[in-house]
A = this chain, B = another copy of it.
Amino acid sequence: MSKTYTIIRIAQAVNGQAQGDASRTITGISSVEAAGPEQITWVAQDALLKKLSGCRAGAVLIRPQWAPEVPVGITAILVERPSHAIITVLGMFDESAAVAPGIHPTAVIDATAVLGANVSVGPHAVIGPQAFIGDNTVLHAGVFIGQATCVGVNCVLWPNVVVRERCLIGSRVIIHPNATIGADGFGYELIDGRHVKIPQIGNVVIEDDVEIGANTCIDRAKFASTRIGQGTKIDNQVQIAHNVEIGQGAILAGQVAVGGSVKIGPYCVLAGRAGVADHAVLGSQVVVASCSCVSGVIPDKAQLAGIYAFDVQDWRRSQIAVRRLPKLLEQVRELARRVAELESAKNDTNRG
């Protein structure tokens, strides 16, 4: 059953001031274009403000200075930062499944594993010897926790996540379904025509407040640790190779790939499908555009795009130039013809 709130209740929750009929009932959230009279929406950008005149929402989160733009019949909730307030409202309407507390009888938990208070373990989850699971952490159905792996407090591991042995997962970490943490790094030595496997004896360390997307892979180190810094957020199908070190607060969007031994500084942003070549070193707050690949040493705050990426402004100009290339080839041929003609005329003159 859906949740419902009065507008006055929502206004209180976001520390906002209601303007209009605050007794109306709200049953959900939608966009400025799609919201109906029982839904709330929000205006955080100028672009949306223009669409407000046709809006049919019951309520709108909006900055005080934009209040005059709210059509009659829509109750405004005035807040300084609508983009922050909507997070609170989304949370109020969140119907995520409450997890059944306690340990499901089909879970297999080694006798030497230690579980904190209020841990939930779903059906068919497996927890290995000497593993540790912190207070309030939820391991959903089919999760695998390897030997001597530690998971902190208030974590959520969604179904079928695999974390292999001796890894360290911090607190408040979220890992989405089918992600793989701690598989062997990819390393071989070619000896007599045979790829001999290099043992990968390190582990993975995930610091606090990290989120890891579905089907993402983070490999264990050859030795020492592959490390993901505090508060870093990683999307789905991201590949992070062995011995990578990522600082705090980085953002890695879907299908990003990070090669072996790469170092990524704090608050870097790798857009969708960005790639980082083995051994590259990115400073802090570097931004790599989507579908781009970087290598080498990248200074702080650089913004890069392209394959063998270079400065994003130069890259945009070069991309435009690329489209003109077929025409340019023709122009150069034509110029060459005309220069030859001039030269020939000059020679005639000289001879003449």
Contact = CB atoms under 8 A, between A and B. Distances in A.
A198 B87 contact: yes
Contacts of A222: 90
Interface string A10-41: 00000000000000000011110010000000
A247 interface: no
A28 B318 CA distance: 49
Interface in A221-268: 222-224, 231, 233, 235-237, 239, 241, 249, 251, 253-255, 257, 259
A29 to B, nearest CB: 5
Given A97-B146, A254-B241, A326 B335 contact: no
Given A83-B189, A328-B321, A331-B336, A291 B290 contact: no
A66 interface: no
A284 interface: no
Contact of A214 (B166, B180, B188, B236): B180
Instruction: Please tell me how many copies of the chain the complex holds.
Output: 3
A325 interface: yes
Interface in A117-132: 122-124, 126, 128-129
A243 B109 CA distance: 38
A346 interface: yes
A272 B326 CA distance: 26
Interface string A314-352: 100111111111101101100110110011011000000
B332 A321 contact: no
B332 A332 contact: yes
Interface stretch (A53-61, A71-79, A157-165, A296-304): A157-165
A328 B339 contact: no
Contact of A162 (B158, B189, B223): B158
A28 to B, nearest CB: 7
Contacts of A140: 144
Contact of A321 (B198, B237, B317, B329): B329
A325 B329 CA distance: 9
Contacts of A34: 224
Contacts of A86: 198
A164 B259 CA distance: 30
A104 B83 CA distance: 48
B342 A236 contact: no
Interface in A267-315: 272-273, 275, 277-278, 290-291, 293, 306-308, 310, 314
Contact of A257 (B91, B180, B273, B307): B273
A93 interface: yes
B332 A338 contact: no
B201 A95 contact: yes
A195 interface: yes
A48 interface: no
